Structure formats: structure tokens, C-alpha cells
């Protein structure tokens, strides 16, 4: 092993994170919701349950491997959405924020496992857990008008 390139590589490796950090792009919480969490959750929710139309009842569970894969992917984004929300500088420095973010990540993990197992009932349940995580965090962190009929749980 030649020492000079090794040393250069070590110096580069040490300098890289410090040099790249100020440039690192980061979304706001609102953008994470709009572009990451919400579309992924919508995709996940559309993969379970049924919808009733004039033409009858349409089951929404995937029927092809590709569609199941897409559901796994959507749940993975929900999971990572929770991880992103926990990142330093994301949301208020508050243990409850961390807890709700973790709740979202856990729900995404459940969703991934259910979709990988192609288990329609578990996907439906995981969808409920995902919804609960959204609702719990919004209930605490999205302000409502004082005269709102909606009450804090
Ligand atoms: C850890 C907290 C947290 C979790 C979990 C969470 N949200 Fe949010 N969400 C927020 C906050 C805070 C806002 C308000 C952001 C703002 O307006 O600056 C928001 C706003 C939104 C918005 C409005 C975005 C916009 O363009 O104004 C949507 C849509 C949304 N969330 C969807 C979801 C869905 C769907 C889930 C669950 C899959 C979810 N959120 C989970 C905290 C959370």
C-alpha cells in the first residue's frame, strides 16, 4: 500500500462532510409534507380497502407484483418521512415532535412489512396507523382558530 494516496484519501474523507454541510439542501416541514409524506401516504392508502362506485365495489389491493412493489416503496417513503422529520432543525426541539415523527416511521415500517407479505388486512391496518400518526401530530402542531368547533383531544 502506498502511503501518500491513502493519506490524501483520509484527508478528503475528513474534509468532505464539513465542506458539504453548509450547502446541504433541506426541505421545510411544509415541503416535506407536500412533496414527501403526503403523496407517499396517499399512494399507500390507495392500495387497500375498497371504493363503491356506480359500477359496483372496486377492491383496491394490488393484483400484480409491480403494484405490490409500488406499495412497499410508498411505505418506505412514509417511513423515511418520519426519519426526516426527526432530523435536527426539522420541527420544534420538543420530545413530542420526536415521538410523533417516530410514530410515522413505525407506521411506515408496518406498512412495508405488510406490503412485502402481500397481506391485504395488514396493509389496511398499517394505513390506519399511518393516519393516526398524521392526525396526532397535526392535532398538536397545527394551530386552529380559537372559535373552532374542533377540540384538542
Ligand atoms: C411530526 C409531525 C407531523 C406528522 C407525523 C405529520 N405531519 Fe403533516 N404537517 C405537520 C405540520 C407542523 C404541518 C404544518 C406545516 C406548515 O404549514 O408550516 C403539516 C402540514 C401538512 C400538510 C399541508 C402542507 C401544505 O402544503 O400546506 C399536509 C397535506 C400534511 N401535513 C399531510 C400529512 C400526512 C398525510 C401525514 C401522515 C402520513 C402527516 N402530514 C404527518 C406535522 C406533521
> Across the chain, where does the E strand assignment appear?
50-53, 56-59
- Report the residue count for the chain: 153
Q: At what angle do helices 38-45 and 65-85 cross, to 10 degrees?
A: 150
Average pLDDT of the residues of the chain: 87
Higher pLDDT, 53 or 110: 110
Higher pLDDT, 48 or 9: 48
Its pTM stands at 0.85
Q: Which atom of ligand 1 is nearest to the CA of 104?
A: 5
Q: Please give the share of the chain, as a percent, with pLDDT higher than 90.
A: 72
User: In a mutational test of the pocket of ligand 1, which residue from 89, 99, 134, 140 has the highest number of ligand atoms less than 8 Å from its CB?
Assistant: 134
Higher pLDDT, 48 or 14: 48
C-alpha cell at 102: 417516530
User: In a mutational test of the pocket of ligand 1, which residue from 37, 39, 78 has the highest number of ligand atoms less than 8 Å from its CB?
Assistant: 37
DSSP state of 151: -
Residue 149: the pLDDT is 76
Residue 118: the pLDDT is 97
Amino acid at each position: 500500500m502506498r502511503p501518500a494516496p491513502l493519506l490524501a484519501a483520509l484527508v478528503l474523507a475528513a474534509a468532505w462532510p464539513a465542506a458539504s454541510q453548509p450547502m446541504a439542501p433541506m426541505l421545510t416541514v411544509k415541503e416535506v409534507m407536500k412533496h414527501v409524506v403526503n403523496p407517499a401516504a396517499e399512494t399507500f392508502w390507495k392500495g387497500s380497502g375498497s371504493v363503491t362506485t356506480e359500477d359496483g365495489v372496486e377492491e383496491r389491493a394490488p393484483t400484480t407484483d409491480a403494484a405490490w412493489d409500488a406499495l412497499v416503496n410508498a411505505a418506505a417513503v412514509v417511513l423515511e418521512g418520519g426519519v426526516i422529520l426527526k432530523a435536527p432543525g426539522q420541527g420544534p426541539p420538543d420530545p413530542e415532535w420526536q415521538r410523533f415523527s417516530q410514530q410515522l416511521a413505525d407506521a411506515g415500517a408496518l406498512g412495508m412489512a405488510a406490503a412485502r407479505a402481500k397481506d391485504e388486512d395488514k396493509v389496511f391496518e398499517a394505513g390506519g396507523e399511518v393516519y393516526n400518526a398524521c392526525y396526532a401530530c397535526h392535532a398538536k402542531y397545527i394551530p386552529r382558530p380559537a372559535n373552532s368547533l374542533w377540540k384538542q383531544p
